[in-house]
Structure 1
Amino acid sequence: MLLFFLSATVTPVIASNLSNSVIQAQQTTTQLTNNAAKLYQSERYQEAVDAWKQAISAFVAQKDSLNQAMALSNLSLAHQKLGQWELAKKAIANSLALLKNQSQSKEEQKNLAQTLDIHGNLQREMGQATDALSTWQAATKIYEQIESSLAAQSKINQAQAMQDLGLYSRACKTLLEVVNVNIKADNCQDISLISSEELTNKLQAVATKTPTLTQIVGLRSLGELLRSIAQPERSLIFLETSLELAQKLNSSAEVAATHLSIGNTAQTLSETERVRRKRESNQEKALTAYDEVIRLTSSSTLRQQAQLNQLTLLLKLQDFDRAAQLWRSLFPQLTTLTPSHTGVYQQLNFAQSLIKLAFVGAGLSDMSGNKPIIQLNLPIQKSGNAKIQLPTFEQIEQLLIQATAQATTLGDKRAQAYALGYRGELHELAGKQNLSLAEQYTRQALSIATNFETPDIAYQMFWQLGRIHRANGNIPEAIAAYTKAYDALQSIRSDLVAINPEVQFSFRESVEPVYRQLVELDLEYASSLEKTGKPKDGTKYLTQARNAIESLQLAELNNFFREACVEANPQQIDRIDPKAAVIYPIIFPDRLEVLLSLPNRDPSLHTQKIPPAQLANTIESVQQSLIEPQSVVQEFLPQYQQLYDWLIQPLETELAKSQVKTLVFVLDGDLRNIPMAILRDRRSNKYLIEKYALGLTPGLQLLDPKPIADVEPKALAAGISKIRPNFAPHQGFEPLNNVQVELAQIQKLGLAAQEFLNEQFTSNQIKQAISDFRFPIVHLATHAQFSSVADDTFILAWDHRINVKQLGNLLQDNPIGREPIELLVLSACETASGDKRATLGLAGVAVRAGARSTLATLWAVQDESTAKFMGEFYRQIEQTRKTKIGSRAEAMRQAQLSLLQDKRYSHPHFWSPFVLVGNWQ
């Protein structure tokens, strides 16, 4: 009897029939194969190779070509574990040759499929994901012809290859077919539309069934995929179900493998959690899960992966003492690995951690890409009161040299480019004296990345080359390299999630700085050209900076959803509105730059040297004063005036000359958390809203302009005035007693074609109404929360919380060719407490809803004042329709002024939180 050992996650299968003529020799061959199997399972791979060779010789002597082929396949697996790729390829080729000469019985076809599974594993380990996918597809086809239940593992393998290739949607569809969990989902986007409660209930039903290995592995694979596409909460639900089944099966190998995945998902959750207690709980959960892997597994590869991920987390926690102990235990293991796809990426991951530990642990860098290291001769540094040993430059470089050599041996071009690029980064950080070598290795990485069409790697290498040029003082060359990085990023906006998950990657660390640093270089160079009397030459750099900051806003939104839902449609300001100016405040560590774009004029730049702490403190003070209606306005006027002086006063002359009526802001950083209406001119004692109509936009590239005067006055109006007791989705919210007044005003103006109040306001009711009729205006008078996390951005319906992705599905369920919603109004929303990037959720709602413009509030306001605001707003909209004079922004301005001039609501808390995102016309 001969066993297959495709991986630790596959049930060993009996190879095939032994003929009667070799019955007497069966005991000998069985002993040989059993011995080889035990040696393989014990990770004594060289001894397993010798044992398989003995078994092969025995089968040759018996003229048993079928079992000879199976032994050759298992021999290939053992060679793979040793990194003996040529021998592994030779063994699998000989096996396939023998099997293809066999008759086509069911058993022989099954053996061929199993050998193809092993061949696919070899191809993937050599970095040949496309070939592996094709091979596993061929195996699946055979399984489905002879016994469809056998195809599950091969489909799971296919899904892994698809993920390697960035084919996440196909991978998800494949895994959903395998796990068969009775949920209404054809892809991962559908899973995001299912509430966590419903998903948990569905999977609890799965956990009660008899566990199978393929179900355990399939659920784990789907959980891992969901984590990689920014659905960590749902990832954890699948993983915990997989763990429960693995524990029922009493499989320590599967329990360990699932703990690794749970640790990775918990680490991801900790990165997005705003509440400190929950964040620390997820961090502890991750560390505990990694400890469980180390305790349970007999696989050195799995143990090393757990330790590597544990090291990554310890560095994020700045626990350098424990990190130092861990890296020292890992170093001898990872520097003696045999070449393999898995091994090379483990070395690359380890090298990234060592670079961070060496530089950040030594207090020499924040790894932001802004402050290159001057020196690295400090193997011993202090962490707290204890001395720790940090990795040396030589140790890290030796690891990267080895990774490069192994990637070259494997023919894995992606890994080769990464290894050379990280070596370049190491030399870049080592200081000015190493920049020549840094450039050399970076260019070598680029030659591979560009030749093999890997823009996700190429952009990182162009960015690195730009930093090196900048450090050398070659600013034009730096801008050229950054521009190529920017262009490469633009080409892969839809594929950023496909960046190899085995390599440490973060949008905040690896994408956002590319845009910001390009903008910084463009602005600095434009300023230098102006100072030398060449302002016209600087115009193209100002224009590029403007485009880059808008592209960053789009990239942030795509990262928010972790899918390319935002498409660019560049617009020129004068073609949109000749009476509007667009203002781009851009925050840098040492200054505030304000870029002004006026119709039919070149952009202009205004620089304010402001310490970052002063700007942040001013913004925070203003925000607190606005949220609290009892604050004394006079005490905060200096801050409102200071913001005006920074953002508007330098532009006043140009604004006056241009006679614009509307100011549109593309805001940056913490400025997004406060309304621009509050800025106050100290000379005229007027708020900005008293001087101009105001709008916000993530960028002109998103606009689809259409004046409100041309919009049909028909609205879908829905709201919730009551809160359901003992209903979890409604917990934490107060009744909105004036919602009925608000909706009645819309009805009175003849705008509401359909109304849904309380029990009628369910997602299905709204979806059906929007599907049946076209509503240019959708007004939702209900609680809503904006957050920097998509799953925490929601609108409260009677039946559940509609998250931002579900909202898009709800509001855009239009027949083909129907015009999008013109105006979405959310009258009782607020930003999540403690989330400085929460307004990203507002932009996300505005974009995902598919509405041309969205009117919302930045914080919860007394619903009586909101009702008055909304009544005036819609009266202004109706007046604009009749006179063809005015705009959405002007209607909002007049509604805000009506509150400002009412003594009951003159406090900025009541009139300033309303913002208009998108088309302001």
Structure 2
Amino acid sequence: MKICLFIFFIFAPFAHAAPLDDARDAFNQGRYSAAISSWRSAPARNLGVQLQTWRGMASAYWQLGQFQAAQSILEQALRLARKNQADHAQVLLLNEFSKLYLAKGEQAQAGKYLQQALEMAQTLEATENSTLTSDTKNTHKLLAELFNQQGNWLNITYDYNGALAAYAKALANADKDELHAKIQVNRVQTLYEQALFNLYPGADMAHLFQPIIQALQKTLPLVQGWQDQYSEVLALVKLGKLAGDIRTQLLTNEASATTVSVLDAIAKQTLQRAIKSAEHLQHPHAKAYAYGYLGRHGLHTGNIKQALSLTRRALFFTQQSGSNKLEYLWHRQLGQLFKHQGKLDAATNAYRQAITSFTPVRARDATTGYCAKTEGFRERIAPVYFELADLLLQQARITSDDRQRDKLQRDARSSIESFKSADLQAYFQDDCIIMQQQPQAVETWLDEHTAILYPIVLEDRLELLLGFQDGLFQVMVPVSHKQLRKAAHLLLAGLRHHPAPATRGSIGGAVAANCSPGVRGTMPMQTDTQVWGFLEHAQVLYQWLIEPLREALDSRGINTLVIAPDGALRTIPFAALHDGEHFAIEQYALAVVPSLTLSTKQSASPPRQRALLAGLSEPNQGFSALPCVEYEVQHLHKLYQSSQDTLLNQAFKVSEMAAVLDQEDHSLVHIATHGQFSGNLEQTFLLTYEGKLRLNQLEQLLESTNIAGTQIDLLTLSACETATGNDRAALGLAGIALKAGVNSALASLWKVDDVATPAVILEFYRQWHTGITKARALQQAQIKMLKSAEFVRYRHPYYWSAFLLIGGWL
């Protein structure tokens, strides 16, 4: 967990009545709801008291995870400060907005408010210096806080040099007081993270970390006697944890026993100081952190019995606080400790409780008073789910009881399904995405020739669960998470780039004539042998993911393989995996499901239904023309004849889409335009004639059709691409169709050549119209690109393997 210390000034005693003192005391003890009640009852005697009260309430709502309420109160306070031209208060409030957005993981908004605060504060400084006013000292204190926040923001964006420069400016503006010490704490943390970021194989770890150990030792004496006692506890926890983390790094690199021993003592003594201060403060959250992280240190140093006692106390104080946002940390830690003792049932129960207590959308890194690094969801939360699955799968592999094995395998899969549901909720910031059914129900949907491949990527191995009509089949592959991720990256690096970039998009002449596959498709393309270098990695991944299952698949006559990938596997085209002679698509029709429990039972639908065809072929808003979009839409227009509505170029607007979907029931929506699926929901869009169609807008448009009673059977997104190497971008691609209630989606992992795209897409529709399933239709279209003389130019998998069928495969 990566944390940077925030600075608050709301804890100083108020100069007025008891309700304000009560609010301050309640806040400092972690009783946030009580603090809000006291602040609400306090009279607003003047502008300063009113603004400080609102800042306090916003901070309390923030600690409770109620970010919208905190934002609303800060907006009220900022309006009042502007109305009264309270410049210093405006700067403070803008900085509070920056902290709030950083805690929510919205880095761009955090940076925007921080920049406004800095510009205003620097203007105040210049004015005060020129007029020799008495507010200069306060302004310097403001600048110290702002530069500290800038350091936090830059740290979170991995600009460590920039962060250290910002902390230096903050220290230059701060007095030698508590604020100065807090900035030093953040500086030491950043030095450590910079060292980790720049680490290289064979580095002299002891030499690398020695300056950081010295800075840590110099900072520790500064953390004492703070007025803000809660921040003092958290600073001690942070420094104690840092000492333990450096110790762990040095242990793995055979550092001197003396250095390791010194760090062990620093970590233990610092965390014991934190416990003493937390007990004096009587703040349950503070006590939970202090006891919990000393327990964590015991886990890492092998003092298991003491670690269990400390972790249980951390759990007790978390529950005493009335907030469950830390529970998952301590339940997971108990699971690790029980596993270390060989108490597998107790470990399993602890992990289950960790998952039960976790709230994905509202949960943030649970370090109240700190800003949390916006790590990937997997890095922060997934270990709880995957460690439980790991435990269950180990037991499944050794049990001789068939019924027990089946239950353990299904429970392991359910654990990963819970994670996937939480992952989607976190991506869309929407906890209305809920599981539809237990995963085991999915097998009942399969026919005798269809199987579900469920890969579970663990740190030290890959577990493959293959689901048939009559049960699960488990195979363990000895390949680590890092090895698998590297192979996936190398495969994509060889596939995403055009094999003959000089020819890309050079169609010339009239679109309708030159976008036809017959014009260029029969002309072989001269390519360098290097463009087939991806095959090495395609074969490695095939050997890991499919070859171990071939006997089971072949013996049952499986011809359709539905895959539920996770992590780096979400970004790879399974169709391009290769057994040394054939591509996987030649052996199986393939479909991808983001989650089994979030899927709904499918039934084959007739392809000749009413279609909405939309596209943008003209250059627009800085994006290049897509000439073959017009060709693609025109041919689909002919295919669907009178059962279609077309919105091309200037007609392709959100308002027009809404009107068409409202007037007629559509079961097919085909959108051919530039688009980007990013790991950041705010940067994910489809381009329309008048602007960018965001995912929430697309969701609302498609949901309106579902509400009207006609479920959209297929959503096709042609010419879009998914951010390179971004696991969560692929999550957005799959998740929007699921979230909007669409049966299936057809989309691409990367932007394919403008002429080849309609060749694949139109062939898919032609095949689907023969009455076969969508999965088989896409398989036949891709095989035709690979083998037909009509498409010899497009045999390289760059042209056809990017297209994925997501969701329903029938």
Q: CA deviation at 1:742?
A: 1.0
SS at match of 2:361: helix
Residue aligning to 1:756: 647
Larger Rg: 1
Cα offsets for 1:853-897 (capped at 9, x unmatched): 3211112211222112222223344444xxxxx333223223223
Q: CA RMSD in A?
A: 3.4
CA contact (8 A) 1:738 1:864 kept: yes
What is the aligned counterpart of 2:252 among 341, 364, 367?
364
Cα offsets for 1:703-756 (capped at 9, x unmatched): 1334351688233322222223xx5xx3xx542110001111221122774333
Residues 254 and 611 of structure 1, relative CA distance in 2, 3 Å threshold: closer
1:826-837 equivalences under 5 Å are 826-833=717-724, 835=726
**Which has the higher mean CA deviation after the structures are superposed, 346-355 or 236-245?**
346-355
What is the aligned counterpart of 2:153 among 256, 265, 272?
265
Residue aligning to 1:743: 633
Name the structure, 1 or 2, with higher relative contact order (CA <8 Å, separation 6+). Answer: 2
CA contact (8 A) 2:599 2:738 kept: no
1:497-516 equivalences under 5 Å are 497=364, 499-502=366-369, 506=375, 507-516=377-386
Residue aligning to 2:755: 864
Residues 779 and 307 of structure 1, relative CA distance in 2, 3 Å threshold: farther
Q: CA deviation at 1:522?
A: 1.4
Q: Counterpart amino acid of 1:667?
A: P
TM-score by length of 2: 0.83
Residue aligning to 1:129: 32
Cα offsets for 1:250-284 (capped at 9, x unmatched): 322222222222222222223xxxxxxxxxxx333
Residue aligning to 1:719: 615
What is the aligned counterpart of 1:582 among 428, 449, 452?
452
Cα distance between partner residues in 2 of 1:269 and 1:760 = 40
Residue aligning to 1:355: 244
Residue 426 of structure 2 corresponds to residue 559 of structure 1:
yes
Cα distance between partner residues in 1 of 2:537 and 2:163 = 43
Cα distance between partner residues in 1 of 2:652 and 2:55 = 41
Cα distance between partner residues in 1 of 2:780 and 2:382 = 37
Cα distance between partner residues in 2 of 1:604 and 1:392 = 47
CA contact (8 A) 1:354 1:391 kept: no
Q: Counterpart amino acid of 2:252?
A: L
What is the aligned counterpart of 2:141 among 253, 258, 268?
253
Residue aligning to 2:259: 380
Q: Counterpart amino acid of 1:650?
A: P
Q: CA deviation at 1:323?
A: 2.7
Residue 411 of structure 2 corresponds to residue 411 of structure 1:
no
What is the aligned counterpart of 1:438 among 286, 290, 307?
307
1:271-670 equivalences under 5 Å are 282-298=159-175, 300-318=177-195, 320-337=209-226, 340-360=229-249, 362-364=250-252, 378-380=257-259, 392-431=263-302, 434-450=303-319, 452-489=321-358, 492-497=359-364, 499-502=366-369, 506=375, 507-529=377-399, 533-564=400-431, 566-571=433-438, 572-579=441-448, 580-601=450-471, 603-610=472-479, 615-628=484-497, 629=499, 630=527, 632=529, 637=535, 639-670=537-568
Where does the alignment leave 5 or more consecutive residues of structure 1 unmatched?
A: 1-6, 11-76, 81-91, 96-110, 182-205, 271-281, 366-374, 382-389, 881-885
State percent identity of aligned pairs: 29
Residue aligning to 1:891: 777
Residues 803 and 497 of structure 1, relative CA distance in 2, 3 Å threshold: farther
Residue aligning to 2:796: 907
CA contact (8 A) 1:666 1:696 kept: yes
Cα offsets for 1:280-313 (capped at 9, x unmatched): xx33332222222211123733333322222222
1:843-862 equivalences under 5 Å are 843-847=734-738, 850-862=741-753
Residues 649 and 376 of structure 1, relative CA distance in 2, 3 Å threshold: closer
Q: CA deviation at 1:154?
A: 2.5
Q: CA deviation at 1:408?
A: 2.5
CA contact (8 A) 2:463 2:476 kept: yes
SS at match of 1:380: helix
CA contact (8 A) 2:571 2:725 kept: no
CA contact (8 A) 1:357 1:391 kept: no
Cα distance between partner residues in 2 of 1:351 and 1:692 = 54
Cα distance between partner residues in 2 of 1:801 and 1:676 = 30
What is the aligned counterpart of 1:218 among 93, 114, 136?
93
Cα distance between partner residues in 1 of 2:297 and 2:178 = 26
Cα distance between partner residues in 1 of 2:528 and 2:100 = 48
Residue 576 of structure 2 corresponds to residue 697 of structure 1:
no
Residue 22 of structure 2 corresponds to residue 119 of structure 1:
yes
Q: Counterpart amino acid of 1:232?
A: Q
Q: Counterpart amino acid of 1:857?
A: S
Cα distance between partner residues in 2 of 1:856 and 1:478 = 41
Cα offsets for 1:428-447 (capped at 9, x unmatched): 1113xx12211221122223
Q: Counterpart amino acid of 2:466?
A: L
Cα distance between partner residues in 1 of 2:266 and 2:141 = 33
Cα distance between partner residues in 1 of 2:806 and 2:706 = 25
Q: How many residues of Structure 1 are paired with residues of Structure 2 in the alignment?
A: 740
Q: Counterpart amino acid of 1:895?
A: A
1:785-796 equivalences under 5 Å are 785-796=676-687
Q: CA deviation at 1:623?
A: 2.5
Cα distance between partner residues in 2 of 1:738 and 1:869 = 12
Residues 814 and 226 of structure 1, relative CA distance in 2, 3 Å threshold: farther
Where does the alignment leave 5 or more consecutive residues of structure 2 unmatched?
A: 1-6, 126-138, 196-207, 500-526
Cα distance between partner residues in 2 of 1:560 and 1:332 = 41
Q: CA deviation at 1:132?
A: 0.9
SS at match of 1:442: helix
Q: CA deviation at 1:848?
A: 5.1
Q: Counterpart amino acid of 1:309?
A: N
Residue aligning to 2:3: none
SS at match of 2:761: helix
Residues 239 and 656 of structure 1, relative CA distance in 2, 3 Å threshold: same
SS at match of 1:695: strand
Residues 306 and 605 of structure 1, relative CA distance in 2, 3 Å threshold: same
Cα distance between partner residues in 2 of 1:172 and 1:819 = 38
